[in-house]
C-alpha cells in the first residue's frame, strides 16, 4: 500500500474496524484503490469496497449525508437494473461512523483499470443515465456541487489556505455565475453531479457508472459541461456524442461553473496532496483572468 497521511491511515483503519464488527472477513492488508477526495479500499478477500470520506469530510458536514445520497442514487439505479456499482449486500452498506469518519460499503467490481472510456461511449452512456434518473423522486439538493462553494470558501478561509484576494475573486465569480444560471430557468432533473469519464468503469458486463456522491437536481447542462470538459475531445464532437441539442448559451455558464468548482476543490485537495498544486494553480489562474477586479 502506498504511503498515506494520518487522515487516510485513519480511514483505512476505520473501514476494517467496522467491517470486522459486522462479521466481514478482511485481511490486514486491504488494497488501496483511491486516495484523494475520499479513500476507497478493497477489503480483500471479501468482494467489498469501503468508501471513507476524507478530504470531502473536511468541508461536507456531516459527511454521512453525502455518502447516504451516493447509496440512494446507486441503489435506485441498481434496483432498475441500470449498470452501476451497487451498494454492498455482503454487509449493511451504511453510512457507518468510526473514529469520527463516515464510510459506506460497496460491491467490489472487477474492471479494466487501464481503460478510459472515450467520448462516444461516455456521451451515449450519460444520455442513458439521464433518461433513467428522470424516474428518481428522492430529495436532492439544487446543483449542490456548485452551490456548496461559498461554504467551502468559508472553510478554507479559516485554514488560511487561499490568499484573501483569491477568496474575494472566487466569491465574485460564484455570484456572477449563479445569476446567469438562475436567469436561464432551465428544466431540472436528477443528475449524476460529477459525470466524467473516470467515473465510468469497463467491466465484463460492459460499462458501469460509479460515484454518485455529488448527485443533485439541476439542468442536464451541469452534467454535460462536466463530461465535455473532461472528454479530451473538441466541444462539438463531445456534444455530438451526447446527441441532445443544447443551446451554446445554455452551456456556457455551466462550463464556467465547473472551472470555478475545479479551482476551489483543487485548492482544498492541495492542502493534503502536493501533487495537486500545479493543476489547482492552473484552474485558479483561469478564474483570476475571468473575474479580476481592480477593487481587490
Tens-place pLDDT, residues 187-217: 999 999 999 999 999 999 999 999 999 999 9
Cell of 192: 449524476
Q: Phi and psi (nearest 5°) for 243?
A: 65, 35
CB 291 within 8 A of CB 171: no
CA 102, chain centre distance (Å)? 16
Q: Which CATH architecture has domain 6-108?
A: 2-Layer Sandwich (3.30)
Pick the closest to residue 253 from 190, 189, 185 (CA basis): 185
Residue 177 has pLDDT above 90, yes or no: yes
In the prediction, which pLDDT does 233 show?
87
Percent of the chain whose pLDDT exceeds 90 = 90
In the prediction, which pLDDT does 1 show?
54
Exposure letters 229-239 (e unless 16+ CB within 10 A, then b): bbbebeeeebb
Residue 186 has pLDDT above 60, yes or no: yes
Instruction: Tell me the pLDDT tens digit for each residue of 43-99.
Output: 999 999 999 999 999 999 999 999 999 999 999 999 999 999 999 999 999 999 999
In the prediction, which pLDDT does 3 show?
82
Percent of the chain whose pLDDT exceeds 70 = 98
Residue 123 has pLDDT above 50, yes or no: yes
**Location of each CATH 3.90.1200.10 domain in the chain:** 119-291
Q: What is the mean pLDDT of residues 121-146?
A: 96
Please name the helix (run of DSSP H) or strand (run of DSSP E) that holds residue 34, with its range, or none: strand 31-35
**Location of each CATH 3.30.200.20 domain in the chain:** 6-108
In the prediction, which pLDDT does 292 show?
84
Instruction: Tell me the pLDDT tens digit for each residue of 212-230.
Output: 999 999 999 999 999 999 9
Mean pLDDT (the chain) is: 95
In the prediction, which pLDDT does 18 show?
98
In the prediction, which pLDDT does 248 show?
87
Residue 296 has pLDDT above 70, yes or no: no
Give the C-alpha separation, 44 to 61, whole Å.
30
Residue 294 has pLDDT above 70, yes or no: no
Residue 295 has pLDDT above 70, yes or no: no
Q: Name residues whose C-beta falls within 8 Å of residue 114's C-beta, 6 or more positions apart in sequence.
A: none
Q: 119-291: which CATH topology?
A: Aminoglycoside 3'-phosphotransferase; Chain: A, domain 2 (3.90.1200)
Phi-psi region of 193 (alpha: psi -120 to 50; beta: other; left: phi over 0): left
In the prediction, which pLDDT does 51 show?
98
Query: Could you count the other beta carbons within 10 Å of the beta carbon of residue 272?
Result: 16
Q: What is the mean pLDDT of residues 285-295?
A: 84
Q: Name which residue leads in pLDDT, 83 or 28.
A: 83
Amino acid at each position: 500500500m502506498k504511503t498515506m497521511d494520518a487522515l487516510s491511515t485513519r480511514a483505512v483503519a476505520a473501514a476494517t474496524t467496522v467491517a470486522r464488527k459486522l462479521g466481514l472477513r478482511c485481511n490486514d492488508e486491504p488494497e488501496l484503490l483511491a486516495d484523494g477526495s475520499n479513500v476507497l479500499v478493497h477489503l480483500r478477500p471479501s468482494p467489498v469496497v469501503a468508501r471513507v470520506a476524507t478530504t470531502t469530510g473536511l468541508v461536507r458536514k456531516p459527511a454521512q449525508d453525502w455518502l447516504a445520497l451516493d447509496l440512494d442514487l446507486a441503489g435506485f439505479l441498481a434496483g432498475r437494473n441500470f449498470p452501476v456499482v451497487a451498494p454492498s449486500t455482503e454487509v449493511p452498506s451504511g453510512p457507518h461512523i468510526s473514529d469520527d469518519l463516515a464510510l459506506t460499503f460497496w460491491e467490489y467490481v472487477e474492471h479494466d483499470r487501464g481503460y478510459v472510456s472515450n467520448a462516444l461511449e461516455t456521451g451515449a452512456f450519460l444520455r442513458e443515465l439521464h433518461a433513467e434518473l428522470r424516474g428518481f423522486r428522492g430529495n436532492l439538493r439544487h446543483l449542490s456541487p456548485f452551490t456548496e462553494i461559498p461554504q467551502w470558501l468559508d472553510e478554507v478561509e479559516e485554514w488560511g489556505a487561499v490568499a484573501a484576494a483569491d477568496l474575494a475573486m472566487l466569491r465574485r465569480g460564484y455570484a456572477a455565475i449563479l445569476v446567469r444560471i438562475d436567469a436561464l430557468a432551465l428544466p431540472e432533473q436528477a443528475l449524476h453531479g460529477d459525470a466524467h469519464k473516470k467515473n465510468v468503469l469497463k467491466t465484463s458486463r460492459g460499462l458501469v457508472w460509479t460515484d454518485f456522491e455529488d448527485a443533485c437536481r439541476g439542468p442536464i447542462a451541469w452534467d454535460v459541461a462536466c463530461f465535455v470538459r473532461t472528454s479530451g475531445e473538441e466541444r462539438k464532437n463531445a456534444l455530438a456524442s451526447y446527441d441532445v441539442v443544447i443551446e451554446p448559451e445554455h452551456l456556457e455558464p455551466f462550463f464556467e461553473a465547473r472551472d470555478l468548482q475545479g479551482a476551489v476543490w483543487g485548492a482544498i485537495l492541495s492542502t493534503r496532496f502536493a501533487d495537486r498544486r500545479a493543476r489547482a494553480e492552473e484552474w485558479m489562474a483561469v478564474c483570476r483572468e475571468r473575474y479580476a477586479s481592480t477593487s481587490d
